[in-house]
Amino acid sequence: MAAYNPPGRSRQWLSATMIPYLVAHFAKSQLWHASTLLFAFFLTEACRLNVDAMGGIMAGSLVLNGVVDATLGLRWRTRVVRMADALRLQAWGAPLTSLFFLLFCMAPLIQAEYRLVWALMTLLCFRASYSFIDVSQNAVVALGAMTDDARCALLARRNIASGLAALAVGGLAAPLLINGRGVVVWLAWAGFVSMLVCGSAWWLACMKTRAGEASSAIASEGPRTVPFVALLVALAVMMTGTATFRTLEPYYAAFAGNGTGLLLWAAIGGLAGQMLWFAGRHRLTMAGVLVIVALLLGLAAIGLLQATSLGAVVAGAGFGMGTGGLWLVLWSAMMNRAATGQPTGYVGIFTCVSKCAQATAVLFLSRVLSTSRYRDTLADPWSAPSMLMIGAVGAIGATSLALAYAFNRTAYDEKRATPRPTVRPDRVPS
């Protein structure tokens, strides 16, 4: 059991490291959103690889990333016990990850006969090295001296930083790639992001985090959450659906006639919804939050059926807000468990499942795209690629409802297990 620390320590830790941590998360998230949102489109449209080759490369790299996450997480269980340990590992891994990110982005400059090998090798190296900054940075949330409420607040702010990163990628990098602005401009953006990743990681590692280092994480004081396996199952379904939707987003933007509207509104929805979800945590039960998530995702599915600009707004905003709420619920539940000890083990397994689920989605999606004329059919909301996006949103909504039932059931079982007094307090003999 982790040692108790007063809430004042939690506030001290948050005030000391909040801004540099969020900047580092924003920088790292740009790498991740670029790799999930743009790399598939980059491989097929900029590098001129066929869809099957793209699917194999993307899926294989994600599986590698997940396996390295789990391996490092389990290996670091007894080595990463302080926040300073995690921050040093992140600072060490940032330059290596940024280097391979830049090398991958240089693929269009490579001769055509060597381009596939170059893209494969540099992407695999990027995925493997990304685990060093991903697992370590995520573990900081569990290693800091925080209460459950402060931990959830930090996760919500992290999600806002990630949403801003998605907005930057969708609003800046995606138009560069989709509109064919040239390799030089694309590489200039990639170089700026890489410098931000390294600089923020070093800044965070140099911060005087005495509040976080002087004490261990506060053990979860709230009710027991659903079993960890149930969280992993919900995560797998969510990430499979999310990866399907987000991988198709650039194709939808390029070929469905709505430009980058869907990408931008998905990022805006995820960004705007985070603090609302955090505020709702104090006013709604966890099951209630998840039911609202399902309703928002239902609206997103309806929006996708409308091949209009308004449909893109409804679909993007509903998807962003809905998946953002489910994401906050899953990460909060996992981090509360991780705070009880050996956080990198929980984080590594959690992110491993997430990335393997994304790999499954990308591999399946590549088969669908290879057998359809997606450049011509995505404008039709009833085509196979469009229906795949709708099905992905529906699956995430159904998972939210199932998880709501699980949380409600857990709360009911705990209430029944609470012992009741056998004698009324006003009748206890004096």
Distances (CA, A) of 424 to 417, 429, 430: 19, 10, 13
> Which tokens is 165 given?
């990163």
**Residues 6+ away with beta carbon under 8 Å from 272:** 317, 320, 321
> Which tokens is 332 given?
């909060």
For residues 253 and 164, what is the distance between their CA atoms, to the nearest angstrom?
Answer: 19
Quote the pLDDT of residue 181: 62
Domain range annotation of the chain: 15-413
Domain topology for 15-413 = Growth Hormone; Chain: A; (1.20.1250)
For the chain, residues with pLDDT lower than 70 are: 1-16, 46, 177-182, 208-225, 256-260, 307, 376-379, 381, 411-430
Q: Full-prediction pTM beyond 0.85? A: no
Quote the pLDDT of residue 255: 72
Q: What is the pLDDT of residues 336-371, one digit of tens each?
A: 888 888 899 999 999 999 999 999 998 888 787 777
Residue length of the chain: 430
Q: What is the pLDDT of residues 58-104, one digit of tens each?
A: 888 999 999 999 999 999 998 888 888 899 999 999 999 999 999 98
Instruction: Estimate the share of the chain in helix, then strand, then coil, as percent rounded to the nearest 5.
Output: 80, 0, 20
Which string of DSSP letters, residue by residue, matches 30-95?
HHHHIIIIIHHHIIIIIS---HHHHHHHHHHHHHHHHHHHHHHHHHTTTT--SHHHHHHHHHHHHH
